[in-house]
Amino acid sequence: MIRSTSKTVTTTPTSIVTSTGATSANPKRVVIQVPTGGQAVFIGGVTRTGSDSNGGASYTLSTTNGLSLASPSTTSFDLWHDDELYAVVAATTQAIIVLENQTN
């Protein structure tokens, strides 16, 4: 089953989709659209404290370290078990569309 939702992104990192139901054999495919006439949206993970096993430093999603999606644009991702995708904007708010397949 496919689900389409409208999300409002703010200047604070906002969860836009989780990988609920995804497995290593069955990822969740998501498509994100930033409509015409909007501002850029930056996506990524929200926060990591401390270093990871690869030596990555702590961070919080921001307009300087997120993947930039200009307006208009559409992009897609596969989310795996325990993945959660966040978005943030530089000013005010921005509506986006998230299309996802519903995994069991």
Complete edge-to-edge strand list for the sheet that includes strand 94-101 = 2-9, 94-101, 28-34, 73-79
Residue-number span of the structural domain to which 33 is assigned: 2-101
What tens digit of pLDDT does each residue of 47-98 get?
766 666 655 666 688 898 899 999 999 999 888 888 889 999 999 999 999 9
User: What is the structure's pLDDT at 98?
Assistant: 95
Q: How many domains does the chain have?
A: 1
Q: Is the pTM of this model over 0.85?
A: no
Lowest mean pLDDT among 20-24, 42-46, 83-87: 20-24
Q: From CA 5, how far away is CA 7, in angstroms rounded? A: 6
**Of 33 and 104, more confident:** 33
Domain containing 71 — which CATH number?
2.60.120.770
User: What is the structure's pLDDT at 51?
Assistant: 61
